Amino acid sequence: MLETNFFKMPPLMKRRTFVTASLLASARSLLAGPGTAPPRLGICTFSSHQRWRLTKPVDAAGFFRYARDLGADGVQSPLRGSDPKVLRDLVDGIGGYYEGELRLPKAMPDLPAFEAEVRQTREAGATVARAVFTGGRRYEIFRTAEDFAAFHGQAKRSLALAEPILAKHRLKLAVENHKDLTAAELAELMRSIDSEWTGVLYDTGNNLALLEDPAETLAALAPFVLSAHLKDMALQPDADGFLLSETPLGTGFLDLNGIVATLRKANPGINLNLEMATRDPLRVPCLTGEFFATFPGRRASHLEAAIARVKAHPPKQPPPSVSGKDPDRILAEEEANNRHGLAWMHSHLAD
């Protein structure tokens, strides 16, 4: 039988300063530096997406209880039907934090629903909420430069529509680098909106799919960071490019301690949310012409280095996969990956 218990109660338990990639080497000492409060270490819903897919869906309150049982300080999650005041009382009573998730408005008629969602998210206790411009990957959903230009224009309009409502309710919007915009493109959007209420959710692994070096992504986006998805990554060669996988924290090739130190230098109050997706590796077909349809210059500027990075960092252990496994095994492996990730975070990042 599939495990469905999300509800087990756990034991109680105006602008940003620019940060350069050179801090990766020197800023590690910040993690243990005097006067620095320990970071809060949580988890986002996609770390448990197999559980959401294979068992009865639950609201944010149920996910919060489950996450605390896993060892998380807090969660990043949509409300999913939770009464905001009940959720806030739960979080305040047990201790921890709640970060929200929002759907961005695309046009004026969307604003009443967006404002209601913002209001409820604040009532639930969140001061930061995640958003994405699109749920897809740039090289899979945009076939032409014109398609991408239309999306980019819509992204600008969405931020402009959302900003006054965010300011009114004092909720900060963290837009994830979500395999759609390059780091430079997302940073330019942040500069164009120029608001303390709009910033970036920094995902440590996503822009590898756009052939970026992690240091390049970090240098561009750290000045705007409001929240983070923490994941480690594995790379494998593939006939059309490479395979990209989340892998248990500490077993991939990312310098997570250095990345976190830089993010905390930019935003000392940032929450770090585990996003360990237990799934099959993602194919990044960067050796095909279609991949570069929306950014043709990237073939010359980034492809060679990306392939060299794949060759230089073979996996330390087989990356996660789910194909051919029964649901009970998938759920068990996902939970084990999440427990490992949160334990690693508390061991390596909590000082």
Encode pLDDT of 101-145 as tens digits. 999 999 999 999 999 999 999 999 999 999 999 989 999 999 999
| E-only strand ranges, 179-327 | 198-203, 225-230, 232-238, 241-247, 271-274, 282-284
The whole-number pLDDT of residue 13 equals 32
- Please check whether residue 332 lies inside any domain of the structure: yes
* Overall size of the chain counted in residues: 351
The whole-number pLDDT of residue 31 equals 41
CB of 207 within 8 A of CB of 183? yes
Q: How many domains does the chain have?
A: 1
* Lowest-confidence pick of 24-28, 50-54, 227-231, 273-277: 24-28
- Please check whether residue 114 lies inside any domain of the structure: yes
- Which residues lie below 8 Å from residue 55, measured CB to CB, with a gap of 6+? 2, 3, 4, 6, 331
- Please check whether residue 252 lies inside any domain of the structure: yes
As a whole number of angstroms, the distance between CA 133 and CA 175 comes to: 8
- Please check whether residue 11 lies inside any domain of the structure: no
- Please check whether residue 341 lies inside any domain of the structure: yes
> What does the pLDDT average to over 318-341?
97
The whole-number pLDDT of residue 351 equals 72
Q: Which two tokens stand for residue 222?
A: 């750290």
Q: What is the pTM of this model?
A: 0.89
Q: Which two tokens stand for residue 3?
A: 């495990």
* Lowest-confidence pick of 2-11, 35-44, 194-203: 2-11
> What does the pLDDT average to over 188-193?
97
> What proportion of the chain, given as a percentage, has pLDDT over 90?
87
- Please check whether residue 3 lies inside any domain of the structure: no
> What does the pLDDT average to over 271-290?
97
Residue 18 reports pLDDT greater than 90: no
> What does the pLDDT average to over 56-61?
87
The whole-number pLDDT of residue 254 equals 98
- Please check whether residue 239 lies inside any domain of the structure: no
- Please check whether residue 306 lies inside any domain of the structure: no
Partners of 173 in beta bridges: 129, 198
State which residues form the domain around 90: 23-233+246-281+323-349
> Residue 200: which CATH number?
3.20.20.150
As a whole number of angstroms, the distance between CA 124 and CA 169 comes to: 13
